[in-house]
């Protein structure tokens, strides 16, 4: 017997990431090949015609799993009954804008979307914030939607996690599916810390630590980190547009592993409400290594943190605390 459809909201759906994301959702990449979906797509009024064009294309693709499409500029209609919310919409940084201005615009958006979600989403709705500043947008959403469990509000660092896997696979010339257990700590920004100290590669003679195989600590502690941190800018330089394909794909991975569970022996990176694990600041959205089971994430505890890593974890934590203060100052 076919499953009941799951309702998935995508905000900012008329944009680049939305356009890459919706066909992935409609094909079952996000929730499985046997899970029917209904798409809710939200964007702002200037994008209404383009959004309707996306809806038309979704109809034109005759996706077997897609059991309905709602395209709207009304946030209440968009949020009604949704089980999953992927928040791609936000105010992009424009040339000449100060950090405070970007923060201020986004804080307003996420405060109002928090209310709509809280009042209209289905119970236990899982939320993924993609729009930057992702961690702080997610925090604002959490603060202004108090009846949504804090554990249900996350932000995307899976893109950085996947980028780190990709860099290791290229360095070692191995299949990316044989690399696992990198960690992205902290903020989805240039202070993120891509950590390979617990990452492994599957080889003919079993799982081996990445550090052992790479044999180049200078690269792992230097260029590897900056490459992953700055990869977004590198994509923009090459494409003249930001990463839509890989961001959309990572959003699907984030939700899929959260809902369907992580494979045995494997963790992933998710920006989640911090409980102070690993001495990260509590009360911010901080990216940790997590496993997922029965629709719940759990921080992987007990991993050794060396001195080099400690400094990196603290640096990105300090930035998140500053962002939280800046966000709150925008609201008062």
Is 265 a residue that touches a second copy (CB under 8 A)?
A: no
* Binding residue (CB under 8 A) for a second copy from 92, 149, 166, 261: 166
Is 323 exposed, middle or buried, given 0-12, 13-18 or 19+ CB atoms closer than 10 A?
Answer: buried
3-state secondary structure of 79: helix
Tell me which DSSP letter residue 277 carries: G
CB of 283 to a second copy, least distance (A): 31
CB 56 within 8 A of CB 69: no
Q: How far apart are CA 234 and CA 247, in angstroms?
A: 14
CB 300 within 8 A of CB 291: yes
Tell me which DSSP letter residue 178 carries: G
Phi/psi for 2 (5° steps) reads -65, 145
The footprint of a second copy on this chain (CB under 8 A) covers a number of residues equal to 48
User: Two tokens at 293?
Assistant: 């089971």
Encoded one letter per residue, x for contact with a second copy by CB under 8 A and - for no contact, window 235-264 reads x-xxxx--xxxx-xxx--------------
* Binding residue (CB under 8 A) for a second copy from 49, 95, 98, 212: 49
Give me the catalytic one of 40, 120, 161, 188: 188
* Binding residue (CB under 8 A) for a second copy from 74, 170, 296, 306: 170
Q: How far apart are CA 124 and CA 127, in angstroms?
A: 9
Encoded one letter per residue, x for contact with a second copy by CB under 8 A and - for no contact, window 196-235 reads -----------------------------------x--xx
Q: How far apart are CA 139 and CA 84, in angstroms?
A: 17
CB of 266 to a second copy, least distance (A): 12
* Binding residue (CB under 8 A) for a second copy from 37, 58, 85, 255: 58
CB of 38 to a second copy, least distance (A): 11
Q: Which stretch binds a second copy (CB under 8 A): 99-107, 155-163, 218-226, 306-314?
A: 155-163
- Strand 200-203 and strand 206-209: the pairing is antiparallel
Q: How far apart are CA 311 and CA 191, in angstroms?
A: 11
CB of 307 to a second copy, least distance (A): 29
3-state secondary structure of 173: coil
The binding site for substrate comprises 93, 99, 132, 163
CB 71 within 8 A of CB 55: yes
Q: How far apart are CA 7 and CA 120, in angstroms?
A: 12
Is 50 a residue that touches a second copy (CB under 8 A)?
A: yes
Is 159 a residue that touches a second copy (CB under 8 A)?
A: yes
Concerning whether 161 is annotated as a catalytic residue, the answer is no
Is 53 a residue that touches a second copy (CB under 8 A)?
A: yes
Note the residues at the interface with a second copy (CB under 8 A). 19-20, 22-24, 27, 29, 33, 49-50, 52-54, 56-64, 66-67, 159, 162-163, 165-166, 169-170, 175-177, 231, 234-235, 237-240, 243-246, 248-250
Active site residues: 188
């Amino acid at each position: 017997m076919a499953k009941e459809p799951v309702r998935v909201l995508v905000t900012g759906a008329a944009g680049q990431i939305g356009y890459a994301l919706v066909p992935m959702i409609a094909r079952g990449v996000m929730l499985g090949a046997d899970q029917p979906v209904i798409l809710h797509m939200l964007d702002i009024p200037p994008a209404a015609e383009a959004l309707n064009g996306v809806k038309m294309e979704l109809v034109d693709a005759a996706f077997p799993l897609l059991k309905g499409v709602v395209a709207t500029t009304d946030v209440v209609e968009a949020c009604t009954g949704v089980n999953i919310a992927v928040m791609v919409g936000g105010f992009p940084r424009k040339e000449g804008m100060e950090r405070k201005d970007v923060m201020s615009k986004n804080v307003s958006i996420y405060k109002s979307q928090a209310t709509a979600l809280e009042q209209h989403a289905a119970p236990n709705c899982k939320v993924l914030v993609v729009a930057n500043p992702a961690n702080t947008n997610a925090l604002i959403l959490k603060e202004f939607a108090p009846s949504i469990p804090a554990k249900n509000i996350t932000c995307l660092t899976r893109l950085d996690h996947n980028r780190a896997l990709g860099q290791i696979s290229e360095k070692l010339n191995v299949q990316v599916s044989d690399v696992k257990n990198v960690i992205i700590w902290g903020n989805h920004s240039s202070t993120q810390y891509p950590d390979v100290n617990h990452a492994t590669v599957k080889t003919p003679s079993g799982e081996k630590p990445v550090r052992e195989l790479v044999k180049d600590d200078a690269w792992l502690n230097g260029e590897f980190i900056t490459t992953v941190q700055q990869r977004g800018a590198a994509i923009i330089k090459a494409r003249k547009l930001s990463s839509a394909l890989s961001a959309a794909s990572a959003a699907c991975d984030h939700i899929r592993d959260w809902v369907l569970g992580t494979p045995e022996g494997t963790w992933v990176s998710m920006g989640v409400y911090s409980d102070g694990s690993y001495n990260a600041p509590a009360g911010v959205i901080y990216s940790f290594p997590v496993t997922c089971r029965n629709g719940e994430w759990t921080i992987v505890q007990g991993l050794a943190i060396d001195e080099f890593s400690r400094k990196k974890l603290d640096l990105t934590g300090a930035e998140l605390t500053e962002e939280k203060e800046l966000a709150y100052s925008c609201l008062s």
